[in-house]
Amino acid sequence: MHLISVDPRALKENPDKTRRSKSSPQADAVLLASIRAVGIVQPPVIAAERDGGNGFVINAGHRRVAQAIAADLPEIFVLVDDATDDGGAMRSAVENIAREPLNPVDQWRAIERLVALGWTEESVAAALALSVRQIRRLRLLANVFPAMLEHMARGDMPSEQQLRTIAAAGHDEQAEVWKKYKPKKQEHASWWEIARALTKTRMLAKDASFGDNLAQAYGIVWQEDLFAPADEDSRYTTDIEAFLGAQQEWLSNNLPKRGAIIEVNDWGQPKLPAKASQIYSKPGKGDNTGWYISPRDGSVQSVAYRLPENKTALASGEAAEADAETVGTKPRPDVTQKGLDMIGDLRTAALHEGFARAPIEDDMLLALLILAFAGVNVTIASGSSDNPYGHADCRRHAARLIDEEGELSFDRDTLQQVARSVLIDVMSCRRNRSDSGIAARIAGEVIGADQFLPNIATEEFLSCLSRSALEAAADASGIAGRIKVKDTRTALIEHFAEGRFVHPAALIAPPVDEVAGWATRCTSSTSEPASETEEDEASRGPETEADALEEETEFREAAE
């Protein structure tokens, strides 16, 4: 390569130049002013004509040569390039990309030109300082229908998502859709309509539970989405029936114990067995799980539910236990019933005096509190019981603090574990007889239980919100409201698919004024203790199941 001085008007344009899109008038004006002020800083690159010509062809610097002519420069310095097998295609592409990013359409054409000249994707990627995945992505875009490419080259580009959809379709499909939605002259294309017409439902490999064997058996061929992030599985298939069939067979062969395959309704929600109630917390040992395939993405989902107990069998079992207890004759005790009553009074007075005055260490005080919950005079409607009408049995927890010699003996770790177990059995926020009221919410605020709430951006929960509440939640999440309520729900669900949404009404921490009012009522010596506080009563919601059903029906009608 050597430097010479030539008349810019004697140079010929390269018919196969890399940059084909016309530059903006503003960019040309800036370049012209620069050349008039300081000249051409970087000489254009030229090469001798091939196929018998005796002139010079511009390989790089067409704009600089054009603006030098516009500046009436009689001569300019140029670099004469040595001949290459690809006609300078790679040098031209590198020079243009390094100096100023090419128009996307020109990038696609340049890479296709290099590949046609024998360059591999890896070598092109190394030379252009791009990843191989990016090169393959650009090559996929080069397969866009030519008429669409010409329109994009004029500056009317679709969004990245729309471009992904268009590039993934075949040429015949693109031609048919372009013929229908082709814009008139000087008008922008309706890319969203074009992309919508070319959209195909995809089933992602990351949602598939089946393996390669079932995929081959059902003829599923995975395609790679080259526009997806490189660090995730971007494979997909548009063969919906085969994907769902493979999922169904895998589910049938891998159904867990106490699991059942259930159907879904028109909204994609699981249909539970008759009289079964869904469980939204951790299921117990006696609960069941229903397994189904989500119609939205084809993934295998599960739902826990609880069947009602057989009340007849339960009643007969309790009667048999009572009869067994009455069998046999008790011997006459050493102390009469009146004497036992007197002993009980004396023991209670001494026990209370000791609790008030005796020195007790902190760990022992906590252990004694656990023993108090194990007393036979304590009845707790538990929210952790498998039976919604059952009671907490704290005796099994307190027994862990008793050693082999029958004495209260424990280490600190065991004490903390037992205390946590008792709190789990006692505290409840369920809307049934096990509700602990505001006391449980105060405890939840202290331990920061709100951070353990799951993502409740689900169809089941969002359908329980009124239109105004749903729109307020969407607005707070930065989601534009939709005309239909069901569309707003769908937008919220998709927005928080990989995140966590907790509605303000579900937060555990109670309002400060309610806590203060509760404490005042409880400490007042003149007020009679109430069986249920006002705030607990307000949290009950609809009085009957019919009211709740009527409310849900109204939401469904609003969504439609």
List strand residue ranges (DSSP E) for 255-383, in order: 259-261, 277-279, 288-293, 300-306
> Which amino acid makes up residue 207?
D
Class of residue 428 by CB neighbours under 10 A (exposed 0-12, middle 13-18, buried 19+): buried
Model confidence at 542, pLDDT cuts 50, 70, 90, reads very low
Q: Distance between CA atoms of 303 and 202, rounded to whole angstroms? A: 24
Distance of CA 150 to the CA centre of its chain: 38
Residue the block writes with tokens 């069947």: 307
Tell me 400's DSSP state: G
Task: Provide the residue type at 203 as one letter.
Answer: M
How many other C-beta atoms are found inside a 10 Å radius of the C-beta of residue 220? Answer: 20
| pTM (whole model) above 0.75 | no
Q: Is the distance from CB of 62 to CB of 102 less than 8 angstroms? A: no
Helix (H) or strand (E) holding 235: strand 235-237
- State in Å, rounded, how far the first CA of the chain is from the last one: 73
pLDDT digits 0-9 by tens, 474-508: 888 888 878 888 888 888 888 888 888 888 888 88
386 pLDDT band (50/70/90 cuts)?
low
One-letter amino acid identity for 322? A
Q: Provide the pLDDT for residue 226.
A: 67
Is the separation of the CB atoms in 452 and 525 below 8 Å? no
pLDDT at 536 over 50: no
Query: In the prediction, which pLDDT does 549 show?
Result: 46
DSSP 36-90: HHH--SS--EEEEPSTT--SEEEEE-HHHHHHHHHTT-S-EEEEEPPP-TTTTHH
d(CA 197, CA 213): 34
DSSP state of 209: -
Q: Answer yes or no: is pLDDT of 22 > 80.
A: no
Amino acid letter, residue 319: A
What span, in angstroms and rounded, lies between the C-alpha atoms of 195 and 200?
10
**Which contiguous run of DSSP H or E holds residue 224?**
strand 223-224
pLDDT in tens, 272-330: 888 888 887 777 777 888 899 888 888 998 888 888 876 555 555 555 555 555 555 56
pLDDT confidence bin for 545, thresholds 50/70/90: very low
pLDDT tens string 230-241: 677 888 888 888
Neighbours of 73 (CB within 10 A): 17
DSSP state of 17: -
In angstroms, what CA-CA distances link 377 with 311, 365, 420, 492?
26, 20, 21, 49
Helix residue ranges, H only, 182-226 = 191-198, 212-217
Q: Which residues lie below 8 Å from residue 547, measured CB to CB, with a gap of 6+? A: none
93-127 per-position pLDDT tens digit: 665 555 555 666 777 778 888 888 888 888 888 77
- pLDDT by residue (tens digit) across 406-465? 888 888 888 888 888 888 888 888 887 778 888 888 888 888 888 888 888 888 888 898
